[in-house]
Amino acid sequence: MLLHFTLKLRLNENISTSNAPQEHPVVFENRFSRFCPLLEFLACRILGGHEDVEMAVQNCRIAASRNPPRFECEGAFRSWLVRVLIDEALAIRQRKAALPLSAE
């Protein structure tokens, strides 16, 4: 019981609340840049190739930079970015699947 409470307390310390100040744009860009290789790798795996990887990462950067929360822990920031990237890559994949095939 004490271990569960301690873990829950540590998790809550790392993630900001909506009332917390937002991260400075320069700090956000520096942190985002460190995770670009990971985001590109994940986008490539989700999209099945290199074709739309850059668009997925760019969409992730735009979506995440709109309202970046302040994370004390790099792991929490990375997890949040990965979730944003997955959402963006899946949206691209879904849009491509909905396009009609060209007649040959």
Average pLDDT in the 20-43 region?
85
What is the tally of structural domains in the chain?
1
Whether this model's pTM surpasses 0.85: no
In a domain, 100, yes or no: no
pLDDT of residue 91: 94
In a domain, 85, yes or no: yes
In a domain, 91, yes or no: yes
In a domain, 11, yes or no: no
- 46-77 residue pLDDT tens: 998 888 999 999 999 999 988 777 777 888 99
In a domain, 14, yes or no: no
Q: How confident is the model at residue 22 (pLDDT cuts 50, 70, 90)?
A: low
In a domain, 88, yes or no: yes
In a domain, 9, yes or no: no
Phi-psi region of 103 (alpha: psi -120 to 50; beta: other; left: phi over 0): beta
Q: Which two tokens stand for residue 70?
A: 């302040």
In a domain, 104, yes or no: no
* Range list of H helices, 1-104: 2-14, 25-34, 36-47, 53-66, 74-98
Look up residue 76 and give its amino acid: A
> Which residue segment(s) compose the domain that 52 sits in?
23-95
Residue with tokens 């795996």: 45
Q: How confident is the model at residue 21 (pLDDT cuts 50, 70, 90)?
A: low
